[in-house]
Structure 1
Amino acid sequence: MSLTLSLRTALSGLTAAQAALQVTSDNIANASTPGFTRKTVDLESRRVVGQGAGVQTGEISREVDEFIISQLRSQRSAVGEYSVRDRFLQQIQSLFGSPENNRTIPNGITELMTAFEKLAVTPEFAANAVEVVNAARQLGQLFNELAVTTQDLRLDADAEIERLVGIVDEKLGSIAELNAQITRATTLGQTTAALEDERDRLLGDVAEYVDIRVFSRTDGSVDVYTGSSRLLVSGGTAKSLTHSAATQVSASIGYVDPDDSAYPGAITGIFLDGTAAGDDITAEIASGRLKALIDMRDTEMPNLQSEIDRLSQSLSNEINAVHNAGTAFPPPSSLTGSQSFDGSDVFSATGSVRIAIVDQSDGTVVETTDIALGAFTTINDVVAAIDGMANASASLDSAGKLVINATTSGYGIAINEMDSAVTVIGTETRGLSHYLGLNDLFQANVSTSQYDGFSTGRQSSSTTAMGIAGTLTFAANGISTTAGYAATDSLEDIAATINANATLTGANIAASVVDDGGGRRLIVRDGDQDNFIITDSGSFLSTASMTSNATSASTVFSVRSDVITDPARISRAELSSAGGLAPGDIGITTGDSTIASDLAGILAADIPFSAAGGLSGTTTTFARYASSILSVQSTIAAEAENQLEFNNSFLTTLEARNSATSGVNVDEELANLIILEQSFNASARVLTAASDMLEELLNIVR
């Protein structure tokens, strides 16, 4: 070997040691830097004409296990999802209360029942009526607070979706930029290790929000896909991800899947590189923070809302049915309905109702009439019959609510439902006073009607054949039409048949199929909020548990304002149903507690509940149904907490495995530093010796 070659060989050793020292120093300096991976320099033997000629530095490479990194991304998605679920569900728990918390709906129902029982024992005590009103108001407030907060949480979730989508979009753009830089560096033969570290860090961040798959390309760049194989990043190009948050939500406002005929809904989707239905990837997101937020907004919160709506609607309906069957003592001089009507609204009923004008001082009958309802076809017929009494007037006010007034001071109005049965939908009927809402205890705190929209209970599928056949008959102001259904028809088919009916379309009556928990339900509404009746020659209405639409029932659940103002209006007695009741007879007695006892009894009775939200159909008491809602929420919250704990533990294990492969061990690096220092010194000594020998040789030649 020539002295010149020796010099060059020693110099290459110095250069290689210097490069390795730089990498080792960088490793030590970044030992605690998140996302940094240990780097190594590939050293290659250099040969000239088959003879060793020193060493040359190769690529600076990262010590990584791509399989573990892929697992880490998937696990970060899982942890991101369950951390969001846990946070939201804990918020619900804090609002809904725990089983031992006194301020819960089950306890509120029990307190109302206790108040009715006290009223039944001593109906003449005014304080007992006040206690009933207070218990009813507190229960209403619990329903209202839970419903409002549920919708607030949905709105928060949607706003969070918009924020996170913006973050993901920004990070995808950064990944595309890094791809371009890595490709350029690879082409120029420059190191890309630091750029790849930054890209992996960003990919891990994105995985926390949405499930992704990553594929490497030969030019050093990567392609990023969603779990459903939608392309997010290709080389140096990133697709845009967008979502516009809703400004308000309610129980009747939600996201609609692109496959649904009602698409788009009031809540928009998450769009990938466009705004068409085909660009909506909301339903395709399978894990990550976004998945949890979507589930909270579109499933968990609506489930809870549906359950409390079902409870509040059933509670209101059953209590009002009993309350309308009785009267206060003394009976009020005026009754105002809670339901709105047009005078020409269709009316269908059987049986008769008893209305009496009584002396408020002692309950003596002044005038009584039993009104047969079978021949009446419109609300105007009902109004005219009542208005025909000598000591009472009846009319619809500006809101379409029936108002009955005793025309003489000191007289009151009492009603006995008798066997009156007014058709609501199908075979569901109500007594006349209940139908009109004349003596309701609970009512909606907004002007509305229970007869302008109907909903089925939750069905497991909207595309499976119902297996029943028949004809639905729709009767409304000035119209009557039918819509047939066959045994092969599904919920979607029945909705389509209703919407294809020109008469119904002209009356602005439309059907839609919406999500409800793990299933679907059919809603039929009049867009003009006009009342209508549906009857059935088959069994669809009963099989599907179709009744007045309960959507938002808990939001507007409240005690009637006139009852709050005057607790003495609480029903406790019953107008005599004796045959031949005549003026001068005792119609009501002050100690009668028949209705107060019945009100307490209905709260202890088993009531049928159709499927709603995450609860199956069942027959149980109101308090037990409310407890089941609380119990289900507690179970869901506990499951989310357990899953978060488990997935965090697994993530920690994966991070430890990754650190063992990619992390910097400072002790090892320091030991390597000593070896490199010795190598550098040895190469320097060789270089010095070769230089001295070369100089000596030159001196000899001279």
Structure 2
Amino acid sequence: MSLNALNTSTAGLKLTQAQLGIVSQNIANAGTVGYVRRTLDPVTTGPGNSGVASGTINRSLDAAALKQLRLETSGAGYTTVLSSVLSQIDKLYGTPGSSTSLDGLVNGFSSALQTLASDPTSAAARSAVVTSASSLASQIGGIAGSVQDLRSAMESQLSQDTTQANRLLKSIADLNTRVSQASDGANKADLLDQRDQAVNSLSALMDVQSVPQSDGTVSLITTTGVTLVDRGNPTVLSFDSRGTLSPDSQYSTDPSKRGVGTITAKTPGGATIDLVAAGAIRSGSIAAELEMRDTVLPQAQRQLDDLAAGLSRSMSDNQAVGTAVTAGGKSGFDIDLSNLKAGNAITLTVKDGSGTRNLILMPSYTTPPASPDASLTDDPNATVVPFTIPAPPATPSASDIASAISAKLGSSYDVSASGPSGTVRILSNGTPTLLAANASVTQPASPTDKGTGTQLALFVDSGNKNGLYTGSFDGGSQLTGFAQRIAVNPAVVTNTAMLVTQTSTEVSDSSRPQALYNALNTTQRTFSAASGIGGVNAPTTSSVSGFARSVIASQGAAAASAQDLDEGQGIALATAQGRFSSQSGVNIDEEMSKLIELQTAYTANARVLTAARDMLDALLRI
């Protein structure tokens, strides 16, 4: 009987000592990031389960809480980048209402034009218009340059995050191998903690799911099903960074057209996947950086390009609106296309069996004509019909334009020169029905042209030898990056009288400055759907000053929304962290209470052992 008691108390002492070690380890690591509370499960031994022995060391891991924690960690990584970048964009426009903000400079330019219209003979008023126009152009260019700096920063951060993700994937695969080979329970628990912490860190970069395997390893996949780790075999990620990005540096699935870096994954199975083209990364900081670089920031650039283009063309273009006509039983429009230039798109609104849509007739100086993608025009859903017109110094006549358009439109339309010089008549032969015809036609023949109308090339394209801005696609889109190239016409800077005098007017005539003021503030122009101001896939109609205010408002609203989203996600992450900590973390009070219980149990076992020893000593002395 005493021998059984001796064996039992000895085993109890060993078990209690082991449990004390586990509790002490828990208390010592209470503040260690990634540490999961340990427990020791005893096992019964001996005849009739009369004995006890140390069992296995287990981690008190709540798998559901861990899964939720990783989900919220990915979400927080995404919203943090989103909020940070959108806040930076919003700050670029300045404090609304201040004299140095974008809207303040637009208002300043408007006021300068209004002052000149009231006193066209004032040299000071003319200089004020040039100065305010220069400040506005410079501000637009500065904001656009900063937007591209942010895109380049996203490109750089993507490179760094991809490298970090690669290191984590390799580390997880290595830990998988060590876990499968570990025989010591304490060592295995430590390895599992390290692996979970590495997966958590990876979750901040990209969305991942962990799939446990029977040998203790895990496989990692993205939420879209791309394998990242297969037991001890990691996927190798690479990023071909392009460094500093320009406005025309865009993502394309065609490698020959791609101007930005992409993330390529070589999976354990040997497959090579373009993760960006596959849309495989949907959360985490990497997903946000891709969205910023390829969608949000290019849209911000497009807004600025559209604003710069609208500002330039509002000063220099005639807004041609078709006049409805009926001839020979056919209906259509007469439209004045005098001085038509490459890029001065003509928009026909038509209706047929498929509904209402736009045809964009795009003049070009090249043969064959430049054929832009519809996404680069005002309406991405339009059908673009390019045609060739005579290049400068020739001026295309109405007959030239009509013949070129007719050759492209085919038998559905009758196109001819009609009425006053430069007027083109476009009639429908039945189906489709013509509903409207509009065009924005650049009037000055050159930047130095004083003109015979109220239009003036006040703003020019500094990247094209200070040439006219017409929206041309010859040699590439003139619109792309124009915000960084817009400048005040040097000819106007040198001769400010051009702000007032036309070929046949006096210096006291206020018609030109008044027309320029109206073009900025009241004349309605169409701005592209790609700017995002008019909603999804919808062009917007606004004055130039109104469009500027809409751009500022949209960026402010986006920044505020992103900040709210990030704050909400922060709360969700904190809740997930709290839940995981309560289930799998170390509670000092509980561990101290358990420590006291184990000390008491140790003392009890020691007393049994002492009593058994005394009994054996007494027996031996008999």
Tell me whether the two structures share a fold, i.e. TM-score over 0.5. Answer: yes
CA drift at 1:97: 2.4
Contact 1:339 1:450 (C-alpha < 8 Å) held by counterparts: no
The answer to whether structure 1 residue 438 and structure 2 residue 449 are counterparts is yes
Q: Out of 478, 483, 486, which is 1:554 matched to?
A: 483
Partner residue of 1:315?
Answer: 311
The letter of the residue matching 2:149 is D
Residue by residue, what CA displacement relative to the aligned partner does 1:256-314 show, whole Å, maximum 9, x if unpaired? 2x3xx56650212111127x995111222101111111111011101111111111112
Partner SS state of residue 279, structure 1: strand
- Counterpart CA distance in 2 for 1:316 and 1:679 is 87
- Listed as ranges, the gaps of 5+ residues in structure 1 are 324-337, 348-375, 384-417, 455-523, 528-547, 577-587
Could you list the per-position Cα deviations for residues 577-608 of structure 1 after superposition, in whole angstroms to 9, with x for gaps in the alignment?
Answer: xxxxxxxxxxx423222211111121122222
Change (3 A) 1:200 1:277: closer
- Does the aligned pair in 2 maintain the 1:211–1:288 contact within 8 Å? yes
Q: For 2:601, which of 667, 679, 690 is the aligned residue? A: 679
Residue of 605, 621, 638 corresponding to 2:560: 638
**Larger CA deviation: 54-63 vs 205-214:** 54-63
**1:251–1:551 CA contact under 8 A, matched in 2:** yes
Tell me the amino acid that sits aligned with residue 460 of structure 2.
Answer: Q
Structure 1 distance, partners of 2:236, 2:308, is: 44
In the alignment, is the contact (CA less than 8 A) between 1:40 and 1:63 conserved in 2?
A: yes
Structural RMSD (CA) = 3.1
Distance in 1, Cα, partners of 2:470 & 2:543: 28
Q: Secondary structure of the equivalent of 1:249?
A: coil
Alignment partners' CA distance in 2, 1:284 and 1:36: 31
Alignment of 1:167-178 (within 5 A): 167-178=164-175
The yes-or-no answer on 1:41 pairing with 2:40 is yes
In the TM superposition, what is the alpha-carbon distance from 1:247 to its structure 2 partner? 1.7
Alignment of 1:230-241 (within 5 A): 230-241=226-237
Does 2:54 correspond to 1:105? no
Does 2:514 correspond to 1:604? no
Deviation at 1:171, TM superposition (A): 1.1
CA distance in 2, matches of 1:382, 1:608: 26
- 1:131 corresponds to 2:125: no
Q: Per-residue CA shift, 1:408-439, capped at 9, x if unaligned?
A: xxxxxxxxxx966899xx97463653467635
Task: For residues 60-97 of structure 1, give each alpha carbon's deviation from its aligned partner in whole angstroms, at most 9, with x where no partner exists.
Answer: 11112100100000001111111111111111111112
Between the aligned partners of 2:122 and 2:231, the Cα distance in structure 1 is 81
Q: In the alignment, what sits opposite 2:262?
A: 269
Equivalent residues of 1:11, 1:687 under 8 A apart: yes
Partner of 1:414: none
SS of residue in 1 equivalent to 2:120:
coil
Greater gyration radius: 1
Q: Are 1:281 and 2:244 matched, yes or no?
A: no
- 1:25 paired residue number: 24
**Cα pair 2:309 2:469 within 8 Å, conserved:** no
1:16: which partner in 2?
A: 15
Give the total of aligned pairs: 511
Say if 2:618 is the partner of 1:625: no
Shift of 1:568: 2.5
Q: Does the 8 Å contact 2:251/2:260 carry over to 1?
A: yes
Residue type at the aligned position of 2:475: D
Would you say the 8 A contact 1:78–1:287 is kept in 2? yes
Q: For each residue in 1:472-493, what CA deviation from the matched residue of structure 2 results, as whole angstroms up to 9, or x when unmatched? A: xxxxxxxxxxxxxxxxxxxxxx
- Percent identity reads 30
TM-aligned CA deviation for residue 555 of structure 1: 0.9
The aligned counterpart of 1:405 is none
**In the alignment, does 2:109 pair up with 1:92?**
no
2:375 aligns with none
The one-letter amino acid paired with 1:609 is: F
1:571 aligns with 2:516: no
Contact 1:441 1:570 in 2 (8 A): no
Residue 499 of structure 2: SS of its match in structure 1? coil
CA contact (8 A) 1:158 1:297 kept: yes
2:519 maps to amino acid = I
Q: Secondary structure at the match of 1:192?
A: helix
SS in 2 for 1:252: coil
- Tell me how far apart the structure 1 counterparts of residues 513 and 469 of structure 2 sit (CA, whole Å): 28
State the shift of 1:453 in Å: 7.4
Structure 1 residues 436 and 428: alpha-carbon distance in aligned structure 2, compared to 1, 3 A threshold: farther
| Structure 1 residue 23 displacement after superposition | 0.4
**Whole-Å separation in 1 of the counterparts to 2:67 and 2:557:** 32
Q: 1:189 to 1:41 in 2, by over 3 A?
A: closer
Measured in 1, the distance between the counterparts of 2:424 and 2:119 equals: 33
The secondary structure found in structure 2 opposite 1:633 is helix
What are the Cα deviations for residues 22-48 of structure 1, in whole angstroms up to 9, with x where unaligned? 000001111111111111110122232
3-state SS, counterpart of residue 463 of structure 2: coil
What is the rounded CA distance, in whole Å, between the counterparts of 1:75 and 1:431 in structure 2? Answer: 53
Pick closer, same or farther for the CA change 1:666–1:243 going to 2, 3 Å. Answer: same
CA shift for structure 1 position 190? 6.2
1:222 equivalenced with 2:171 (yes/no): no
Please state whether the residue corresponding to 1:570 is helix, strand or coil: helix
Q: TM-score, normalised by structure 1?
A: 0.68
**CA, structure 1 residues 429+646, in 2 after alignment: closer, same or farther (shift >3 Å)?**
closer
Contact preservation (8 Å) 1:311, 1:625: yes
CA displacement 1:371-420 (0-9 Å, x = unmatched) = xxxxx95535569xxxxxxxxxxxxxxxxxxxxxxxxxxxxxxxxxx966
Q: Residue 129 of structure 1 contacts residue 568 of structure 1 at CA under 8 Å; is this kept in 2?
A: yes
Q: Where does residue 301 of structure 1 map in the other structure?
A: 297
Provide the C-alpha distance between the structure 2 equivalents of 1:558 and 1:589, rounded to a whole number of angstroms: 27
SS in 2 for 1:612: helix
- The letter for the 2-side match of 1:26 is Q
Distance 1:248 1:130, change over 3 A: same
Distance 1:688 1:431, change over 3 A: closer
Contact 2:460 2:468 in 1 (8 A): no
The residue type paired with residue 446 of structure 1 is: G
CA distance in 2, matches of 1:422, 1:445: 32
Please give the per-residue CA displacement for 1:622-649, whole angstroms capped at 9, x wherever unaligned.
Answer: 1111111111111111111111111111
Mapping for residues 448-487 of structure 1, pairs under 5 Å? 454=472
Q: Name the aligned partner's letter for residue 530 of structure 2.
A: A
* Residue correspondence of structure 1 range 326-345 to structure 2 within 5 A: none
Contact 2:209 2:223 in 1 (8 A): yes
Q: 1:208 to 1:382 in 2, by over 3 A?
A: closer
Q: Is the 8 A contact 2:447 2:489 kept in 1?
A: no
CA gap of 1:116–1:450, structure 2 versus 1, over 3 A, is closer
**1:300 partner amino acid:** V
Q: Give the letter aligned to residue 608 of structure 1.
A: T
Distance 1:287 1:669, change over 3 A: same
Give the direction of change, closer, same or farther, for the CA distance of 1:39–1:420 in structure 2 (3 Å limit): same
Q: Give the match for residue 156 of structure 1.
A: 153
Answer yes or no: is the 8 Å Cα contact 1:77–1:208 preserved in 2.
yes
Q: Secondary structure at the match of 2:219?
A: strand
Q: Equivalent residues in 2 for 1:627-666 (5 A)?
A: 627-666=549-588
- What is the CA deviation profile of residues 290-339 of structure 1, one whole-angstrom value per residue up to 9, with x for unaligned ones? 1111111011101111111111112101212379xxxxxxxxxxxxxx99
Superposed CA deviations along residues 230-263 of structure 1, whole A, max 9, x for unmatched, are 111111121111213222211111122x3xx566
**1:575 CA displacement:** 3.0
Q: Does structure 2 retain, via aligned residues, the 8 Å contact 1:130–1:567?
A: no
Where in structure 2 are the equivalents of 1:358-369 lying within 5 Å? Answer: none
- C-alpha distance in 2 between matches for 1:273 and 1:136: 53
Contact kept in structure 2, 1:86 and 1:641, CA below 8 Å:
yes
- Does the C-alpha gap of structure 1 residues 312 and 306 become closer, same or farther in structure 2, counting only changes over 3 Å? same
**Aligned pair 1:213/2:142, yes or no?**
no
Tell whether the 8 Å contact from 2:163 to 2:237 is kept in structure 1 after alignment: yes
Cα 1:74–1:241, aligned 2, differ >3 Å: closer, same or farther?
A: same
- C-alpha displacement at 1:442, in angstroms? 0.7
Equivalent-residue separation in structure 1 for 2:463 and 2:366 (angstroms): 23
CA contact (8 A) 1:321 1:434 kept: no
